[in-house]
Structure 1
């Protein structure tokens, strides 16, 4: 499968008006699809190119990292803790560091499953003020806070993806 097929998306601009939930879902999907578009047309080797030493940042690593972040969004928990997909407590950066032998095809499938679980979780939680977890400091976190944090997380990492893509082949834009 080509990376154009692997990273296929029908990205749409987020809505400019409407109910809060519609706007939040629109921005989430826009950013999710933007990350996928940044990877289209590159070779699997290019997806593993690091930004610059000593950073381990790669487009492949960003896909893995955002699969983990989506798992956090959808409360993919075991025994009250997030169930890591690519990393462990002993190796907390393996979403970026452990790419040797990792399959981008499998990792994109994992990412897409995490996104679908997040969408399902959000659909089952109609009230944005529903408490969905606790912060590192022990404060309650609402679904609204999770949406806003996720949009911020994607925007930050899509900026990284912009720079990685430009370094790889000169492509710019969204």
Structure 2
């Protein structure tokens, strides 16, 4: 029997200006990842997908904290902000979870989301260029928002499989 998780997310509007639409979809996907993690223990959040993959729900949360940090602090805002979890490896956010505090990882992620909202609000137009660069190029706020939606959508698909594997709970 398939158990479905309750869906308390706020759907993006069907009619809105482009900025509100993009920000609403990004928030919807942020909420989706949070919903996929709700009600699980630290141990469940750390469960790996299928060996040899290091993928876990907690790894995804840590990864998205770093992704938010990269795009909104470092690229859009040109802030000096080292990655949270990379250490010596580009996939450090997915490794070495044994001593990781889920509470701290979720707090870091939420702090980056709140900071991102503040930075986005400071840019008047979706066509505004980032203050920083990525691979030597400036990007528009529009590009960053679309990229973030794509990044979350991809990883929320991973989260669907991880959650169902952990306890059989499914949901959109």
Q: TM-score, normalised by structure 1?
A: 0.88
1:98 deviates by 2.2
Residue 66 (1) aligns with residue 70 (2): no
Q: How far does the alpha carbon of each residue in 1:76-99 deviate from its partner, in whole angstroms, 9 at most, with x for none?
A: 4799765111113x2221100021
SS of the aligned residue for 2:86 comes to coil
Instruction: Identify the residue that residue 125 of structure 1 maps to in structure 2.
Output: 123
Instruction: Identify the residue that residue 6 of structure 1 maps to in structure 2.
Output: none
CA 1:173 to 1:79, structure 2 compared with 1: closer, same or farther past 3 Å?
A: closer
Residue 52 (1) aligns with residue 19 (2): no
Separation in structure 2 between the aligned mates of residue 76 and residue 116 of structure 1, nearest angstrom? 15
1:117 deviates by 0.6
1:135 deviates by 3.4
Separation in structure 2 between the aligned mates of residue 49 and residue 144 of structure 1, nearest angstrom? 35
Separation in structure 2 between the aligned mates of residue 119 and residue 50 of structure 1, nearest angstrom? 31
Instruction: Identify the residue that residue 158 of structure 1 maps to in structure 2.
Output: 156
Segments of structure 1 that go 5 or more residues without pairing to the other structure are 1-8
1:74 deviates by 1.4
Separation in structure 1 between the aligned mates of residue 78 and residue 14 of structure 2, nearest angstrom? 40
Pairwise CA RMSD: 2.0
Separation in structure 2 between the aligned mates of residue 83 and residue 159 of structure 1, nearest angstrom? 27
Instruction: Identify the residue that residue 91 of structure 2 maps to in structure 1.
Output: 93
1:10 deviates by 5.6
SS of the aligned residue for 2:139 comes to strand
Aligned length: 164
Q: TM-score, normalised by structure 2?
A: 0.89
Separation in structure 2 between the aligned mates of residue 32 and residue 145 of structure 1, nearest angstrom? 17
Q: How far does the alpha carbon of each residue in 1:48-106 deviate from its partner, in whole angstroms, 9 at most, with x for none?
A: 11000000000000000000001012124799765111113x22211000212110001
Instruction: Identify the residue that residue 15 of structure 1 maps to in structure 2.
Output: 13
Q: Which has the higher contact order (CA 8 A, sep 6+)?
A: 2
